[in-house]
Chain A
Amino acid sequence: MPLDTKAPREDIRFRQVGSRPVRPDGVDKVTGRAKFGADLKLPGMLIGRVLRSPHPHARIRAVDTTRAEALAGVKAVVTAADFPDIGSDETLAAEGDENLRDVVRNVMARKKALYEGHAVAAVAATSAAIARQALSLIAVDYEPLPHVTDVEAAMRPDAPVLHEDMFTSGVEPKPDKPSNIARRLEITLGDVATGFAEADVVVERDFRTEAVHQGYIEPQACLASFAEDGQAELWCCTQGHYFVRNACARLLGIDISRLRVAASEIGGGFGGKTTVFIEPVALALSRKAGRPVRLVMSRDEVFRATGPTASTSMRVKIGVTRDGRITAGEAELKYQGGAFPGSPVEMGAMSAFACYDLANVKAVGYDVVANRPKAAAYRAPGAPMSAFAVESVIDELAAAIGMDPLELRLRNAAREGTQSAYGPKFGPNGLVETLEAAKAHDHYNAPLGPNQGRGVASGFWFNFGGETSVSLAVSQDGTVVLSIGTPDIGGTRAAQCQIAAEALGIDYDKVRAIVADTSSLGYNDMTGGSRVAFAVGLATIEAARDAIEDLCGRASKIWGISPDAVVWEEGAARPAGPNAGAFEPLSLADLAKVAANTGGPIAGHAEINAEGAGISFGTHIADVEVDRETGRVTVSRYTVIQDAGRAIHPGYVEGQYQGGAVQGIGWALNEEYIYGPDGRLQNPGFLDYRVPVASDVPMIDTVIIEVPNPGHPYGVRGVGETPIVPPLAAVANAVKNATGLRMTHLPMSPPRVLQAFEAAEASRAEG
């Protein structure tokens, strides 16, 4: 009776999937009841604070905490000595794989402070004021060292070296001197030299992008409570409480099952909350103090000491024939990922040319370290930067051969069966559909005014599946509670209720979803990688089918017929056909009422490693207006067209498209980490780290394309990350169209735009 989960059901007439119900956690969020990371307190709670390095690079000769420990009201002080010295090869499965040695050194500096803001010690005290005072009593003996923050500067042979044991991997012969280049990697397909020889026009350009931050409005916050018997509880805002549990258990030297982590509501993550910063520290303080500890980061600390993206220096070269065939694509990508290796350059290299069917590709990547905070994931990590470069060059080539930029993309678009630049053939996908929809859209054909310009760009993300555990319990009145283990960032509880309701054939409001803690369900990979609607949805369907099998079995016993003669349709068990018998259907509520008599509690569960995630392509259209006096670029119209496979809740899919696009617009126009010559971050606040506000952007129009993913019974594809990939180039291409200026350094802030105008004027005067 249970259907094969993998086979997509073309015949489904969806009742719940595709509708727009109000989310189950919504009322709590609009009334202020919802509890986020800093909203919980416990009796006897202490306030934790972290002491951070004022130097971008320094040897730590000694840390003297005696005076701090002696201060009245201080109950615990921790330093690196309170954490294990983990060896170099230990990794922990996370979204990617976190190197635990780097994590523990990032959480608390050992022999060196590697960036301004690097944690050096922490205290827990009875009040915030006492905690602040205690920090000032900790004496750290620093030996400041020369520092480097720029990616190109960090790669030079004479650059100050961060790690004496870092020898570039991926180069032959193996270097004998340490450097800041952790790794060189190369991806090739065909032969680019041959490809360029075939081209009629070749464009080669250098690009730079500055580091940006995910900008979640809720700073990291947690509440840790360590009991005397070694059992601990942690409340924190995170994208992955199971990862937090495993990482903290390792860092505190306790069994995983002794730590129970509950995920609070999370005020944004976007990848920045897929690792640990303050959680192990709070637990260590709580253990030492014997009391609960609340540790919350200030906004200043979030900018200085969490995980921004990489800043980059890139060169891209693409060749095309006069009739619009791209013959070769080459990229050299240098990504600086902060003080430890792990910038997303590999994914940047793999995704760079993914939208195109190319025979000849070469992408070389360098993972570089510098004296900046350790980079964390940010929505399609690595892809927006390389796409900015590639999509800008594609635009230039289109202009060079006099072809419409969408047409050039269409002629070379990756389709089902295209060999991707990074290896496998693509399955069915909607890139062509998004390009055609863009061409036909009103936006693309609307007239432009003076100083206005239009740009387009396409983008791609891999999307992932992963380990997922879900439990579905049927209450005695036939209503259902669904327990999932992935924090809800964007409204997934609504989507999961819709999926469960669809699978069971009942109404949406009969299903309630909760995000369970780590002790209540099997392991779950994080919320991230655009995986929740896909993987958790898959597990929910399996759990529902598990329950349905049980329910049909009970009905068959009640009726005295074979289980094969029972089907589940529209929320009830029914005889499979007239030969099975003339029995009245038994609804979920009917069967739930007699659960105790027919075998006990009714529930379904699923523990899977979801595979078969579908890639998602998108194409964006951006209109800008450029003020030649101030250099200000205003986005006047914006359209996102993206393949969702199947939109479970169209309202929340639109929300992902709009939110990702506006983050991309911020990245393109205003956001950047600004470092002074002293290696210190100059703009660690929302005033000068300028994210888009409501008056900066227009309505963001969206078009949801649906090319079902064959790996999911409802056709779902992840959608959360792709929307941030096209905007950087879409906006840059629009600026070119409006002004004739090819901007190659992001962000295109007013000073940079004015500089570009002046430079163009100067060369016009000379020319």
Chain B
Amino acid sequence: MVVRVRLGGALKTAAGGRSEFDLEADDIKGLLTRLAELCPELKPRLDKGVAVAIDGQIYRNAWFEPVPPDAEVFILPRMSGG
């Protein structure tokens, strides 16, 4: 189904200023693939690795995590601690 995806953190700059995308996806892998197709400037960042927040829960690697309808979805940089 169609999901609204927003770019969080500083990814908006990588996407040439665009921050919202509507696309078809059932899981995180589908979402990232579709996003790379819609916004090729973002592809290098996506390939390097990003985090995806679904309704506030941050996922760093989970390709097959389902994206529920009406979820709030943010793409974020992969963050790290110390």
Contact = CB atoms under 8 A, between A and B. Distances in A.
Q: Within the complex, are A and B direct neighbours (CB within 8 Å)? A: yes
B10 A97 contact: no
B77 to A, nearest CB: 6
Interface in B1-51: 6-10, 12-14, 16, 48-49
Nearest to A711: B57
A647 B65 CA distance: 29
B82 A270 contact: yes
Nearest to B17: A172
Given A97-B48, A609-B61, A422 B9 contact: yes
Interface string B53-81: 10111111110010000001010111111
A352 to B, nearest CB: 12
Given A346-B9, A609-B62, A97 B49 contact: yes
Query: DSSP class of A's interface residues: helix, strand, loop or mixed?
Result: loop
B53 A423 contact: yes
A425 B56 contact: yes
A380 B48 contact: no
Contact of A350 (B7, B49, B79): B79
Interface centre among B13, B74, B76 (most CB of A within 10 A): B13
Contact of B82 (A346, A350, A378, A424): A378
A186 B13 CA distance: 7
Contacts of A170: 10, 13-14
Given A97-B49, A611-B58, A424 B74 contact: yes
B81 A530 contact: yes
Interface centre among A422, A423, A609 (most CB of B within 10 A): A423
A38 B34 CA distance: 51
Contact of A427 (B57, B60, B74): B57
Interface string A166-200: 00001010000000000011111000000000000
B80 A381 contact: yes
B5 to A, nearest CB: 11
Contact of B60 (A272, A461, A464): A464
A97 B25 CA distance: 26
> What's the interface size class on B, roughly?
20 to 34
B82 A528 contact: yes
Contacts of A462: 58, 79, 81
B80 A529 contact: yes
A185 B13 contact: yes
A93 B51 CA distance: 13
A365 B10 contact: yes
B82 A423 contact: no
A170 B13 CA distance: 6
B81 A423 contact: no
A26 interface: no
Contacts of A684: none
Contact of A184 (B13, B62, B77): B13
A368 interface: no
A96 interface: yes
Interface in A87-122: 91, 93-97
B60 to A, nearest CB: 7
A426 interface: yes
A358 to B, nearest CB: 14
Interface in A716-766: 718, 721
A271 interface: yes
A379 B60 CA distance: 20
A613 B6 CA distance: 21
Interface in A138-191: 170, 172, 184-188
Contacts of A188: 12
Contacts of B49: 91, 93, 97
A656 interface: no
A465 interface: yes
B45 to A, nearest CB: 10
Contact of A424 (B14, B48, B53): B53
Contact of A95 (B55, B59, B80): B80
A461 B9 contact: no
Contact of A274 (B10, B13, B82): B82
Contacts of B8: 187, 422-424
Nearest to B54: A424
Interface centre among B7, B14, B77, B81 (most CB of A within 10 A): B81
B10 A186 contact: yes
Contacts of B10: 170, 185-187, 346, 349-350, 365
Contacts of B12: 186-188
B53 to A, nearest CB: 4
Nearest to A98: B80
A681 B55 CA distance: 47
Interface in A253-298: 270-272, 274
Interface centre among B7, B79, B82 (most CB of A within 10 A): B82
Interface in A196-231: 214
A565 interface: no
Contact of A380 (B6, B56, B57, B81): B81
B6 to A, nearest CB: 7
A49 interface: no
Contacts of A464: 58, 60, 79-81
A271 B82 contact: yes
B51 to A, nearest CB: 9
Given A187-B10, A425-B72, A96 B80 contact: yes
A611 B62 contact: yes
Given A427-B57, A463-B81, 11 more contacts: A94-B80, A346-B10, A377-B82, A422-B76, A423-B6, A423-B7, A424-B72, A425-B56, A462-B81, A464-B80, A531-B81
In the A-B complex, the 3 residue pairs with the closest CB atoms: A271-B82, A423-B8, A529-B81
14 contacts: A96-B78, A170-B10, A186-B10, A187-B9, A349-B10, A350-B79, A365-B10, A376-B82, A377-B81, A377-B82, A423-B9, A423-B76, A425-B55, A530-B81
Interface of A: 91, 93-97, 170, 172, 184-188, 214, 270-272, 274, 346-347, 349-350, 365, 376-381, 422-427, 461-467, 528-531, 609, 611-613, 711, 718, 721
